[in-house]
Amino acid sequence: MPILPWDCAHGDAAPVSVACEPVVHLSPWDGRIDTNIVHIVGHGTIQSFGWGQASTKRVLFEAGIVLKHSAHLQLLGLQDREINEPAIGIYATTGDNYWNEISFTATGATETVRRLDDIDARLEAMLWRLDELENRVCALLAQEQAKNAAAIQSES
């Protein structure tokens, strides 16, 4: 039997999805978000993560969310953050409605898509060049065959 009763989430419980709103309660007093991983879905602007229990949360963001830097939501860059690709952040509070960003990482999906698009464009250019070379070779072969046919006809 433990000396102190557990009154917190421990381990990695399944993530919980919550809607993007001006105040997204990550650690409400009633314990309805009993996990340390929160997925914020939808688009909009978040001004605070609300009042609640002292905790540290990993937050998964979708593209299209703006975090407003303020006294209640201290972001690492000390300015508003526009999230243009899926991202992950770690946020901590002592339960006083003041949240501090500990870490923020974009997934790199935008850069990956840009690189894949660049590769695709280069492959398209190579295919076009190969088609052009194939057409030239076919034209040269046709000219050579015409010359050979004319030479054979003139000999007979």
DSSP symbols for 88-143: EEEEEE-SSS-EEEEEEEE--HHHHHHHHHHHHHHHHHHHHHHHHHHHHHHHHHHH
pLDDT attached to residue 31 = 83
Q: Over pLDDT 70: what percentage of the chain? A: 94
pLDDT attached to residue 95 = 87
pLDDT attached to residue 149 = 87
Q: Which residues of the chain have pLDDT under 70?
A: 1-2, 4-11
pLDDT attached to residue 8 = 59
pLDDT attached to residue 5 = 67
What sign has the CA pseudo-torsion 9, 10, 14, 17?
A: positive
Tokens of 121: 């464009």
pLDDT attached to residue 66 = 98
Tokens of 101: 């960003």
Quick: pLDDT tens for 9-26.
556 788 999 999 999 999
Neighbours of 151 (CB within 10 A): 9
Predicted structure pTM score: 0.67
**Alpha carbons 98 and 95: distance in angstroms, whole number:** 7
